[in-house]
Chain A
């Protein structure tokens, strides 16, 4: 079973702090990784994707990928209360049947 594991949290940070969300994956052949944000009762929305080792920045968000360690992370700088949500990590499975496999999510609360 190819798995994506996340710290379930919940994670609380004060407003303005850096929130760090972590994810590991078991399928060494996975090449593409995604972070989704899901507000309570809503559907997931894509916020970042990363393919290459290293960092990828988009505004206040930075995704980090380390394929050797099979580790993906998402940093949220200057966290805002509106960032409070569940963050889902996902990986495209290797092989011919490629689909997104999701972690169980990390619930983030940003305290005003």
Chain B
């Protein structure tokens, strides 16, 4: 079945530690996105990539980094510079670079600082 796979489902980070969230899609979609969702709030864009080896900052990129070395993969690293990383992280993809048909979301990774 085609879809977006995010792993792990739950992740615990210690203070000062970098962690990487995985996102893989087999939909052959061009564009991929990372969003963050805090309780009771909407989704805020962290980074997006419309083509391989290129990505752009979203509204809240500080403390995060990404790479897009393959069309299928768009991992997100939460660095120690991100002071409040506890949130629900959602990866998404769109069939075209402009998102004209909406986004398909993965099942999410819930990150908690311990």
Contact = CB atoms under 8 A, between A and B. Distances in A.
A45 B105 CA distance: 7
Contacts, number: 51
Interface of B: 33, 35, 40-45, 48, 56, 58, 90, 98-108
Interface string A74-112: 000000000000001010100001111111110000000
Contacts of A44: 43, 90, 105
A1 to B, nearest CB: 9
A90 B100 CA distance: 12
A88 B106 CA distance: 16
Contacts of A105: 41-42
Contacts of B101: 49
Interface of A: 4, 32, 34, 42-46, 49, 88, 90, 92, 97-105
A43 B102 contact: no
A99 B48 contact: yes
A49 B56 CA distance: 25
Nearest to B31: A99
A90 B43 CA distance: 10
A92 B98 contact: yes
A46 B102 contact: yes
Contact of A102 (B42, B56, B99, B104): B42
A99 B33 contact: yes
